[in-house]
Amino acid sequence: MDRRKNRPHFFTPIWIASLAFAVLSLFFTSVSTFAEDKAQKEDQRVKESGEALDALVTSQSGIPTDLLNKSECVIILPSVKKGGFIVAGQYGKGLMTCRSGEKFNGPWSAPIMMQSSGGSVGFQAGGEAIDYVILVLNDKGARTVMNGKAKLGADASIAAGPVGREAEASTTGNMSTEMLSYSRTNGVFGGVSLSGTSLGPDSGANENLYGKKVTGEQIWAGQVQAPPAAKDLLATLTAKSPHNLSAGKQ
């Protein structure tokens, strides 16, 4: 008698198919979980950006409303902390939202995730991280940053912005610049120069947030919906500056 005929066939087609299905299921579950984790990280960055912006536009010593009303876009680079420590790899990352429409005179757009490098971004004062907000004052500055990494001060002019409601009358001299930058450290607000900093869309973060590859121009054009995490950010901007009051924008 051939004993091989009586041996159990462990590697039958059904068994192999079941094993393959189990492995694939585990793989796709892991990929899905990884994607969700990355999306949640970007959601958190959007929320932190909204909090940083709210602090700067609602304070009496913060960004002048007159300048916000004349801005095409707002860029926020919030500090990122975990357990009381600054997360170095996340510092200098944030978002930009622009007024929609070809003339930048419509509602605020879904956020374009941004990243920076060099310059003053990432500086720590006394171990405390700094939140940065940049106002983009004209179409040229907005498109320069939106379409690729721009070096502030070279590809787009930038200056430290005046602060406080009383500063509104003194902004005329700064209106020739394309951007004005602000900072907040330990609740203290001020204008800060970010000349030398490179700034542009964060392609990977945009893909994580929106679930597909999408450019800054496409986000600004309304080809994706704003994520729920951006609700407070956009509500703050809409409440504080619903319309572009620059010349020729009404």
pLDDT of the residue at 218? 96
Tokens of 11: 């590697």
Count of other CB atoms within 10 angstroms of residue 151:
18
pLDDT of the residue at 193? 73
CA distance 166 to 94: 28
Residue 73 in contact with residue 97, Cβ under 8 Å? yes
Whether 143 is in a domain gets the answer yes
Whether 250 is in a domain gets the answer no
Whether 72 is in a domain gets the answer yes
| Enclosing domain of residue 119 | 51-240
Residue 128 in contact with residue 78, Cβ under 8 Å? no
Whether 38 is in a domain gets the answer no
**What's the chain's length in residues?**
250
Whether 13 is in a domain gets the answer no
Distances (CA, A) of 246 to 34, 158, 243: 44, 18, 9
pLDDT of the residue at 117? 78
Tokens of 250: 């009404």
Whether 15 is in a domain gets the answer no
210 three-state secondary structure:
helix
CA distance 121 to 198: 9
CA distance 130 to 60: 19
pLDDT of the residue at 61? 78
Q: State the DSSP code for 121.
A: T
Tokens of 159: 């200056």
Longest dimension (CA), the chain: 104
Whether 81 is in a domain gets the answer yes
Q: What are phi and psi of 9, to 5 degrees?
A: -95, 90
Whether 30 is in a domain gets the answer no
pLDDT of the residue at 106? 96
Distances (CA, A) of 160 to 18, 117, 122: 64, 18, 17
pLDDT of the residue at 29? 53
What DSSP string runs through 158-181?
A: EEEPP-SGGGGGG-GGGTTSSEEE
Domains identified in the chain, total number:
1
Amino acid, res. 33: T
Tokens of 239: 């409440």
Residues 6+ apart with CB under 8 A from 164: 60, 61, 62, 64
Tokens of 155: 């590809």
What DSSP string runs through 41-61?
A: HHHHHHHHHHHHHHHHHHSTT
Radius of gyration of the chain (CA): 24
* Predicted confidence pLDDT, tens digits, the chain (250 residues): 455 555 555 557 776 766 666 666 555 554 445 446 667 889 999 999 999 999 888 887 788 999 999 999 999 998 755 444 444 444 578 999 999 999 999 999 999 999 987 755 544 444 566 788 999 999 999 999 998 888 888 888 888 888 765 565 454 545 578 999 888 876 666 777 788 888 899 999 999 999 999 999 999 999 999 999 999 999 999 999 999 998 776 6
